Structure 1
């Protein structure tokens, strides 16, 4: 009652000024309606809020924000036709908000929320639900960031393909679009997280805001990681070599001069390592002849590698990296080059290319894991004393732990690796016997050339 009295008093005072009679009435109605909504008295707030919306639609964005809460509550508590009515009402509220407050409303948010509302409440058939998500993705891809929404969008298309209403090519094309969007979001989050973790590792004090940013980034990275796994599971065996090779083989002769078709076929065969089939050779050579590009050079590198010509493979991979403009694809190439160097024991060169891959794709946790593995493998060669040699494992553990934080999908393996490395590093008694203390820096020599600090044990 006290809050309601203050709200009415405020309105009365405002009414004595320059407000018109109509704006005064709007303010009065809104104050009463908002008061109930703030108190979560949604049943009481519903009627007054709808009246404010009807009579004073442009009064305040708050009207639509409170109505969203009220209608979500009613949807949760309703069933059948009544539930469907509230769903449609909420959609109207969102669309009206977008129309009246376009500068404070993101289309991608609104359209994806509408699509999710229809999807989870089974409003309409799969086609209409899919079109609702497609509208959000096409009209405002930048702000369509809902992880669960992206999964539902792709899942509906796969279901329609299973029903014979869409082609396998449609599924592959949409898969590329959705995965690219997921990875864009992952990379943005991982870039923010990596910077804060680096600051933390240097022993710098993080602000409360930065601590919160780490939690948000890690939570959202985990959500995107789970969704990416679900999307790949939904795609399932549709994208394995047993399906891809017949799909593209039947059209090769008629499409061998079609650059766009060759690029799509090449990209999917390459991504799934379907490199041993003669079709891959034909597609790669035809594409490189018509349009030499990063992708065709990469494919020729794969062919050379499968034939055991690693020197030629590296030539093609480096050419592909120079030509590639897409960060995720460039990272994939750098990662492949790094693996080649690692297998040959050229750890310093391998690390250089893993780092290049991470600059292009900060969420590529596997690159951190590979660096950790190389450091651990070099521990016995990078130190003058037994203690300093074992200290290398602390550094390996840091890299392994970072892998799991930027890519939650790797967290289980990354955490196990980090724990194993810590188990091989000096223990508390070793630190004491050496007269060392936590926080003390240890310079690691040889090709590693980094500093690690003794952790608190």
Structure 2
């Protein structure tokens, strides 16, 4: 009798849970339909009901909750109610992180919170800045929202304009935000690279691969726009006319301060303020105290300016070896490559352009430089006129790739690619040679690559 009673209770318990789960699913379905069409008056009560009774049931509660709360905040005119909704939005995001941590990136959540505070002017400028700094502190590798990255720097710029933070603070934030953007650019370029190469080899992408490539290229275009906007905000504040007096004023006092010298050296170098005597003084002082990638790079720049190419390459190679930051390594390798390119040492130049790309896959200009070198070498490669002209297909592929990984140069890259295609064999030439789909190798010259003749 006792066991029968226990089983009866268990049956009632499971039946109750099943009924409760069914109720949650029904409410969630109705909520989802209303939320999809922005029917806030119908969706919001159901959302509140789901939070109260079914908060663990599905991540969709929080995904749709985010969207309807954003919409309600935008439409709300009452200031007090708007602030309440902002807090509900924050609570929604934090509950999503708590309930579904394995399906949620911390950076996305904290960036959403920072953005809602930014858009609705919640708190002081300093408090809004802290909200973005929290994203960097907690999960900077996944801080990917282009709009949020711009807002982060915009707040720093506003603080500087208001006289609440000095210019060095703004420079530091600029460096930080540009590094965050370039980290995401590199991630997307790495994602896109094998898929672009697959397309260039005339292989068909799967629907999933096509979707990944499309998203990567959209993000790359957006990062290019945001980087341009950030640079516009900084504007003349970082020009040599402002930097040189700023650092000259403090040089004697700071010439043994490694951190100050490092910052001054990097800023002057980045803005090509290299002709002023201050640049030499800062670079030399830094290299004596702490030989580093930055100081070696600066001395390489000075050697270049003096026309001593051999010495410049020694310093630049030293700088590349000392550099630990991939973005910095990439810039140094690119400069070395340009030196070899200018000398006509194309094989050496390509080696360094590729090293630059290994460290920064979104450096499209390096692909463009390789394309230019290939085009210049067309007459030195191949065993026939057709094969020599086929080099231009390879050049066109590299030029097209340049624009895809770096949308900021897409116009120049596509123009170059079309120009190279115009110099490559045309349909009549391919037909006459009966070469469609064949592979041509350029092993008889420094290029050492191959290209597949397009099918007619």
**Do Structure 1 and Structure 2 share a fold, with TM-score over 0.5?**
yes
1:375-386 to structure 2, matched below 5 A, reads: 375-386=374-385
Q: CA 1:368/1:255 → structure 2, altered by over 3 Å: closer, same or farther?
A: same
Q: CA 1:258/1:382 → structure 2, altered by over 3 Å: closer, same or farther?
A: same
Q: Are the equivalent residues in 1 in contact too, given 2:240–2:271 (CA < 8 A)?
A: yes
Match of 1:402 in 2: 401
Q: Which whole-Å CA distance do the structure 2 matches of 1:212 and 1:19 have between them?
A: 43
Q: Are the equivalent residues in 1 in contact too, given 2:141–2:183 (CA < 8 A)?
A: no
Q: Which runs of 5+ in 1 are unaligned?
A: 1-14
One of 47, 51, 62 as aligned partner of 2:49? 51
Match of 1:227 in 2: 226
Q: Which runs of 5+ in 2 are unaligned?
A: 1-9
Q: Deviations over 1:30-74 (max 9, x none)?
A: 234212222125422321321332355445444333322332332
1:188-267 to structure 2, matched below 5 A, reads: 188-267=187-266
1:101 to partner: Cα distance = 4.2
Q: Which deviates further from its counterpart, 164-173 or 383-392?
A: 383-392
Q: Are the equivalent residues in 1 in contact too, given 2:353–2:370 (CA < 8 A)?
A: yes
* Count, aligned residues: 441
Q: CA 1:301/1:32 → structure 2, altered by over 3 Å: closer, same or farther?
A: same
Match of 1:131 in 2: 130
1:276 to partner: Cα distance = 0.9
Q: Deviations over 1:242-264 (max 9, x none)?
A: 11111111111111111111111
Match of 2:438 in 1: 440
Q: Which whole-Å CA distance do the structure 2 matches of 1:151 and 1:452 have between them?
A: 41
1:282-431 to structure 2, matched below 5 A, reads: 282-431=281-430
1:30 aligns with 2:14: no
1:179 to partner: Cα distance = 0.8
SS at match of 1:452: strand
SS at match of 2:302: helix
Q: Which whole-Å CA distance do the structure 2 matches of 1:155 and 1:200 have between them?
A: 39
Q: Which whole-Å CA distance do the structure 2 matches of 1:277 and 1:326 have between them?
A: 27
Q: Are the equivalent residues in 1 in contact too, given 2:402–2:409 (CA < 8 A)?
A: yes
Q: Which deviates further from its counterpart, 365-374 or 291-300?
A: 291-300
SS at match of 2:416: helix
Q: Are the equivalent residues in 2 in contact too, given 1:37–1:70 (CA < 8 A)?
A: no
Match of 1:4 in 2: none
Match of 1:117 in 2: 116
1:184 to partner: Cα distance = 0.9
Q: Which whole-Å CA distance do the structure 2 matches of 1:144 and 1:84 have between them?
A: 25
Q: Are the equivalent residues in 2 in contact too, given 1:26–1:52 (CA < 8 A)?
A: no
The alignment yields a C-alpha RMSD, in angstroms, of: 2.1
Q: Are the equivalent residues in 2 in contact too, given 1:317–1:337 (CA < 8 A)?
A: yes
Q: Which deviates further from its counterpart, 26-35 or 306-315?
A: 26-35
Q: Are the equivalent residues in 1 in contact too, given 2:32–2:43 (CA < 8 A)?
A: no
One of 68, 71, 96 as aligned partner of 2:69? 71
Q: Which whole-Å CA distance do the structure 1 matches of 2:343 and 2:108 have between them?
A: 49
Q: Which whole-Å CA distance do the structure 2 matches of 1:27 and 1:407 have between them?
A: 49
1:397 to partner: Cα distance = 0.7
